[in-house]
Every structure is written in structure tokens, then in C-alpha cells.
Amino acid sequence: MTNRSSGFLTEYGYRWEIESGYKSIKRFMAATTSKDFGLRFFYFAFACLLYSIWRAVDLLVQVELTGEYEHSPIVTADNTLTLLKKETGIG
């Protein structure tokens, strides 16, 4: 039974990573009270794009500076969002 439960824990760990990812993506979403599905979907898709760009930049920075990739970011989401707001006025 112990061997079987460790497999379940591993799969649950993957789910936890997905939930954490969605929580992080929400930080990149524009606030809206619109009930328009198309607009809300666009905001979500754009937030996913920004999140992916942030993770890619962080990965490249980490590999360049340390030669390896760790899960905790060097380039934080807060820094990225602050820079985005400063440069574009979005946020």
C-alpha cells in the first residue's frame, strides 16, 4: 500500500504545481468586472503570455548568471510587473 500511495502523492504534487501556476498567472491579469466572455478570455490569455515571458526571462537570467536553473526566481514577478508598468503604463 505504501508504494501505491507514493504514486498518488507524486501525481497530487503535479496538481499543486498547476494550482500554483494559476495563482501566479492571476497576478498578471488586468482587473475587470466585465461579464463579456471574450474580454475576460483575452485578459486571461494575455496574462498567460506575460507569465510565460516572465518565466522564460527568469530562466535565461538564471542560466546566464549561475549556469543552472532553480525553481525560485531571480527575476521576480513584482519586478517584472513594475518594469512593465513603468515602460508601458499597463498595470
> Range of 10's domain?
2-88
On the question of pLDDT at 30 being above 70, the answer is yes
59/54 Cα distance (integer angstroms): 9
48/25 Cα distance (integer angstroms): 6
Q: How far is CA 86 from CA 5, 19, 67, 74, in A?
A: 48, 29, 30, 20
Number of domains in the chain: 1
Sign for the pseudo-dihedral over CA of 21, 27, 30, 33:
positive
pLDDT tens digits, 31-42: 888 999 999 999
Which residues touch 47 (CB under 8 Å, ≥6 apart)?
Answer: 25, 26, 28, 29, 30
On the question of pLDDT at 1 being above 50, the answer is no
Q: What pTM does this model have?
A: 0.66
On the question of pLDDT at 4 being above 60, the answer is no
54/24 Cα distance (integer angstroms): 11
